[in-house]
Structure 1
Amino acid sequence: MSTPLARIEGLVVGPVTGGPPTVAGVDLSVTGGQVVALMGRSGSGKTTTALTLLGHLRPGLARRAGTVHVAGHDPFTATGAATLRRGRIAYLPQDAAATLNPARRLASLLAEALSGHGRLSRTERAEQLTRLLDLVHLPTDRAFLRRHPHQISGGQAQRVAFAVALAADPELLVLDEPTAGLDAVLARGVRDLIGSLVGRHATVLISHDPDLVRPVSDEVVILEAGRTVASGPPARILAPRRPPKTATAVRVPVDAALSAAGVCATYGRRTVLTAVSFTARERECLAVVGPSGSGKSTLARCLVGLHPYRGTVTLHGQPVARATGDRTAAHRRDLQLVAQDSVAALNPRETVGQALLRPLRHLRGLPVPQASAEATNLLARVHLPAGYVDRRPASLSGGERQRVNLARALACRPRVLVCDEVTSALDVHTGEAMLALLAELRRDLGLTVVLITHDLATVARWADAVVVLDNGRVVESGPTAAVLRAPGHAVTRALVGATGAAPD
């Protein structure tokens, strides 16, 4: 048997202040060319375990026991860390966009990543850059490379970060949810990319997506509450894929809750949305789908007044101001966004409690004691312990941060909730719980949900209607079952074909 390139033995990690450990005695071994997948529910310790391979722990955590070695070096020592960070290990975080310097153009970011190859001629550097971009299926033209990170989609940012991670040709790759936020076609491309890297890199793959893990991994390790509860080959550990269920939401729409008419938006001179129109009805779940870069997230920001646009957005029959600062307090309460980037959406200096108290105090006018009690209730609704009110975002997993963002939106008691990839950072079980919660809120509170997603299986099960975007235009729309069963546009057919999401 090959000597492991990376080995974790008896790892125990817990809060520096004491208390139950976050990781409790985990063992992990990765040989050269092997792909080991870490799976488990949000908060199970997947990312914490993987980050120890880089010698890193989140603030407030400490290693209590165990050893970590990568290529014969201890990453928790200064010498070991310095050696491993010289291109021997690369990390692709879950929130990839947050790692890209917003002040630098993509060409500059990628050129810096390629600098580890030594002195290259201009021609050699251009060839290396083209190879990298082709590898992650990104444009190679000058116009794209001149963009800044905020001028590309979340999926494109994920692939730029992937290119940065691959630039130094590392021995060990640590990939944290590499398909989060990607549409089905691009997710399949990333899966194929990871498969093509097998044999070249040892890989630790953190994912909650069995469809990603099953074809590319050699071994699967399932964590629960910081402990290994199962491990072995994917054929033995993962259940066979089941086809998605047909949409089950109760259809009770009567009036239009949210409408867009002729919405157009740009980034500089680049047109992002062109004459987008749709209607989401009372208590309806309207899904907005499309390839990465089709304008889904920009549409979400336009709807809530965070991006300038032309056209009209109407809330319960009343036009709303284009900028959120010009909207009435009632409109700001009634229309809320749960953003895709859970890191940027939360102030790193604020506790969870402070993040929840602000809308409770300023938009609902609750006194402090009542607002504090309501904050605890909101955490319970999104399946987080009451003790999380004192935590800061850096100590939360990606899925936990997303649930805090949902709780903050619910604090306003909105009538329409715009959810931008609200389940992309969550494991299957937690994502299902989140969607079930949204369905419950629709029934009990009359909430309308605009669900922006790349997951057509989610659309098939939960959405009443669907709008398909491509290059900033609506190319298809209608009842979910009808659109997925007989897609009329090539983009819809490609998305359905990539996931097999057509209802029975």
Structure 2
Amino acid sequence: MTGRDTPQGPDAGGPLAETRGLTVGPVDGGPPVLSDASLAVARGQVLGVVGRSGSGKSSLAYSLLGHVRPGLRVRAGTVRVAGLDPFGKAEARRLRGRVVSFLGQEPASSLNPALRIGTQLAEAVRLRTPGARRDEVQALVRELLVSVRLPADRAFLRRLPRQVSGGQAQRVALALALSGGPSMLVLDEPTSGLDPVLADGMRTLLADVLSGGDRAALLVSHDPVWLGSVADDVIRLEQGRIVPQGPEAPFPAVRPSRSPSREDRGPEAPRTGASEGLFVRGLHAAHGPVGVLHDVSLTVPQGSCTAVLGVSGSGKSTLARCLVGLHPVAGGSVEWRDSGTPRRRGSPVQLVAQDARGALNPRERVADALARPLRGTRGRTVRETWDESVRLLGLVGLEADVLSRRPGELSGGQRQRVALARTLAAEPRAVVCDEVTSALDGETASGILDLLDSLRRTQGLTVVMVTHDLSTAATRADQVVVLDEGRVAEAGPADRVLEHPEHPVTRELLARAAGHALTGSERPR
């Protein structure tokens, strides 16, 4: 790193963390992803960072941990945390976990899938408190779990990461980040992928963690409403540069939650009759001996969009995996029916997963990830495969140069769009989207949803959308299914369910979403 100074002790009078003229770009040249970025975070300050997907937010956050994504390098500038350079190996060991900790937008990726939750927390505590007795470690683990509002009993400690909900995994990851008692937290989209009830709880939890004392935080979020209520200051990134917020409307307007008219939604998607589409009847599914889905039935007509709502742990993601054959069905049936031309290879129903990092092979370039389904469905030549890959990336708002990169060289939003392009490459009749916009900014998310709407209108694509975003359900879905503890609590036309909810779970989801919008509009300082 350029301009590295001899490490000094923490300067109690200066900022806890700062960057000066930081520029980060590809190792082989090309436009920088971060340009001349300068900022300072004082002790006790919460600094918010907003910007479109791919604007450099995560690169800025990673720099405070002395990290750049594969394929990138620091071209100029300096970074200091507690007076030390995090890019120096010795300094990084002194800083990470003890002075600065990180919580990313894909919490499951920070948990070891083979180790029980209690074991992972105990190892983190021992690392930060060498010499601690076993009973002291256990007491600290229980204290951490209580601090993030999780059960501290033996049964929970013995669970594996796959045996907890997404919201619980998020809080376990937060507990790991807090295990060293850090002076600063770097949080990258900490509420992405959570339903309104859990997102509201996570926002409150983080506000408590960050309030009082002298703990600082850099908070990257696509939720400008929450940033306005939690952060002391907010900066915006555009194409890798920090830009002024401007005197008016520093935060983007919240997307409308009303159900639009049919004219708002655009031309009606083609329908081919009630006998064609996705049919689920009496579906049962389990994780080991524990039942997760109970007698779930729904019909998604071809060319329509159904939104699946529910709090974390209600069975939404398990349902999504059952629909595409990735989770065994314990009872009932899942069937796709249509009269189209028989497919050469592959299932007519494809999944776009929530965890794009886990869905993409980290060693495989994007070009290879897209080539496999393209060659499999039509037997294209190498040139035809390349041209079609470029076209698919353009559909999801990515440039052709992404084809030469690996998933680790992309932002979270870019990975999500690559995952969608790979799904479309298989030419599915239906797609099951599991929180596909949770890691995207509002403008990019709207573009992805517009693309799905266009495919519905022009190609009769059927969409099942697992989402926590009630605005998306209201403006994009024809019908809504609400799950509660693995059962269908409420189902019907989107307008009716979201404007006149009958079940308490639906009413709570709507109330939490409306309460968050109201709180954000006030933005107390």
TM-score in terms of structure 2 length: 0.89
- Which of 49, 63, 69 aligns to 2:60? It is 49
Partner of 2:368: 354
Partner of 1:203: 217
SS of the equivalent of 2:512 reads: helix
Equivalent AA in structure 2 for residue 156 of structure 1: Q
Partner of 1:30: 41
- Matches of 2:134 and 2:314 in 1, distance apart? 33
Equivalent AA in structure 2 for residue 431 of structure 1: A
Partner of 2:182: 170
Partner of 1:269: 289
Equivalent AA in structure 2 for residue 84 of structure 1: L
- Matches of 1:331 and 1:460 in 2, distance apart? 35
Q: Which runs of 5+ in 2 are unaligned?
A: 1-11, 517-525
- Matches of 1:330 and 1:452 in 2, distance apart? 28
Fraction of identical pairs, as percent: 51
- Cα 1:501–1:422, aligned 2, differ >3 Å: closer, same or farther? farther
Residues 50, 204 of structure 1: 8 Å contact kept:
yes
Matches within 5 A, 1:45-444: 45-115=56-126, 116-120=128-132, 124-196=136-208, 197-200=210-213, 201-231=215-245, 237-239=250-252, 241=254, 243-247=256-260, 248-249=264-265, 250=268, 253=271, 254-255=273-274, 256-309=276-329, 310-316=331-337, 332-444=346-458
Deviates more, 1:434-443 or 1:110-119: 110-119
Shift of 1:167: 1.7
Aligned length: 493
SS of the equivalent of 2:359 reads: coil
- Cα 1:393–1:142, aligned 2, differ >3 Å: closer, same or farther? same
Residues 275, 473 of structure 1: 8 Å contact kept:
yes
Q: Deviations over 1:453-501 (max 9, x none)?
A: 1111211111111111121111111111111112211211111111129
Shift of 1:385: 0.2
- Matches of 1:426 and 1:150 in 2, distance apart? 24
Partner of 2:17: 6
> Does 2:467 align with 1:489?
no
Partner of 2:32: 21
Equivalent AA in structure 2 for residue 489 of structure 1: H
Residues 32, 199 of structure 1: 8 Å contact kept:
no
Residues 255, 471 of structure 2: 8 Å contact kept:
no
Q: Deviations over 1:242-296 (max 9, x none)?
A: 5424244436543241111111111111111111111111211100111111111
Equivalent AA in structure 2 for residue 237 of structure 1: P
Deviates more, 1:276-285 or 1:79-88: 79-88
**Which runs of 4 or more aligned residues in structure 1 lie more than 6 Å from their structure 2 counterparts after TM superposition?**
none
Shift of 1:2: 6.6
SS of the equivalent of 1:131 reads: helix
Equivalent AA in structure 1 for residue 98 of structure 2: G
Shift of 1:123: 5.3
Partner of 1:322: none
Residues 122, 138 of structure 2: 8 Å contact kept:
no
- Matches of 1:442 and 1:207 in 2, distance apart? 30
Equivalent AA in structure 1 for residue 114 of structure 2: A
Shift of 1:65: 0.9
Q: CA RMSD in A?
A: 2.2
Residues 345, 377 of structure 2: 8 Å contact kept:
no
Residues 97, 179 of structure 2: 8 Å contact kept:
no
Equivalent AA in structure 2 for residue 459 of structure 1: A
Partner of 2:464: 450
- Matches of 2:499 and 2:48 in 1, distance apart? 33
Residues 243, 500 of structure 1: 8 Å contact kept:
no
- Matches of 1:46 and 1:475 in 2, distance apart? 39
Partner of 2:3: none
Matches within 5 A, 1:443-482: 443-482=457-496
Residues 457, 499 of structure 1: 8 Å contact kept:
no
- Matches of 1:236 and 1:451 in 2, distance apart? 31
SS of the equivalent of 1:343 reads: helix
Equivalent AA in structure 2 for residue 224 of structure 1: E
TM-score in terms of structure 1 length: 0.93
Partner of 1:325: none
Partner of 2:522: none
